């Protein structure tokens, strides 16, 4: 646990996260515009609500779309050994996780519409008590890893 893991996740992860951030930012944007329009018609709605929402939108958008994805990508690393899976993530609090192969109960890959656009998918690793994720791997790579891990994890397990 002294060295960080060697592999990085796919570079397109940044684009996928940015796209998600753009879409999420639309919600307060629409609300803000709606509030400003509404303040023209109703006296009890101050136009400051709309302006506040718009300022919030801009700040949130800059942070989640331009600052976080890069930092997050730089931090995200993983490495698959024969005996264990080693993951590192976290921007402010850096977490390094070790999951032994013999504790792995099942492995899944998951792909939402945004990840699909960039041909990426997320690898989920479950033990009896915990769940771990490697987000945004290239599709083939995730599938390969899934098969590789489930192969390695296929050791005889005693009760949990």
Partner 1 sequence: MSEPKRLHPVSVVFSIIQTIRKSIFSFLPIIILALGNGEWLYIAIGAVIFAAIIIIVSILSWFRYTYQLEEDQIRIEQGILVRKKRTISKHRIQSIDLTQNIIHRIFGLTKVQIETAGSDHKIDASLHAVTMEEGKIVHDQLKYNKKIISQDMDTEEEESQTVTEKVYPYEKISPKALFIAGSTSGGFGIILGLFGLAFSELETFIPDHLYTQASDWIFSQALQVLIILAVITLIILWGLGILATIIQHWDFTITRYEKELFITRGLLEKKQSTIPLKRIQAVGMKESIIRQPLGYATMYVEIASGEIGQNAETHTLLYPLIKKNQAREFLAKLLPEYEYTQEKWTKLPKRALPYYLLRNTIFPLLATIAVFIFFREWIIVPLAAVVLAGILGYFQYKTIGYRLEGENLLIRNRLLGRDTVLVKHKRLQSFQKKQHILHKKQHLATLDTAILSKFVGRHLVIRELELKDLDTIADWYSYRD
Q: Residue 99 contacts by C-beta under 8 Å, 6 or more apart in sequence?
A: 84, 85, 87, 125, 127, 130, 132
Q: Report the residue from 7, 12, 60, 84 that binds partner 1 according to the rule CB under 8 A.
A: 84
- Shortest distance (Å) from residue 62 CB to partner 1: 22
Stretch touching partner 1 by CB under 8 A, among 13-21, 31-39, 44-52, 125-133: 125-133
Q: Which is nearer to partner 1, 100 or 112 (CB)?
A: 100
Whether 72 contacts 32, CB under 8 Å: no
Q: Which is nearer to partner 1, 42 or 92 (CB)?
A: 92
Q: Report the residue from 18, 39, 127, 150 that binds partner 1 according to the rule CB under 8 A.
A: 127
Q: What is the dihedral of CA 30, 31, 32, 34, to 10 degrees?
A: 80
Q: Work out the burial of residue 137: count CB atoms within 10 Å of its CB; fewer than 13 is exposed, 13-18 middle, 19 or more buried.
A: buried
Q: Which is nearer to partner 1, 104 or 120 (CB)?
A: 104
Interface with partner 1 (CB under 8 A): 1-2, 81, 83-84, 90, 92-103, 127-130, 132, 158-160
């Amino acid at each position: 646990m002294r060295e960080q893991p060697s592999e990085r996740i796919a570079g397109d992860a940044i684009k996928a996260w940015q796209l998600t951030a753009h879409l999420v930012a639309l919600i307060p944007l629409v609300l803000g515009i709606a509030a400003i329009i509404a303040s023209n018609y109703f006296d009890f709605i101050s136009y400051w609500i709309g302006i506040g929402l718009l300022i919030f939108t801009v700040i949130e958008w800059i942070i989640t779309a331009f600052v976080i994805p890069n930092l997050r990508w730089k931090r995200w690393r993983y490495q698959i050994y024969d005996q264990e899976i080693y993951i590192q993530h976290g921007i402010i609090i850096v977490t390094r996780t070790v999951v032994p192969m013999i504790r792995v109960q099942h492995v899944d890959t998951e792909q939402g519409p945004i990840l699909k656009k960039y041909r990426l998918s997320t690898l989920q690793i479950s033990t009896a008590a915990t769940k771990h994720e490697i987000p945004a791997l290239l599709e083939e790579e995730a599938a390969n890893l899934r098969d590789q891990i489930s192969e390695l994890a296929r050791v005889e397990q005693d009760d949990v």
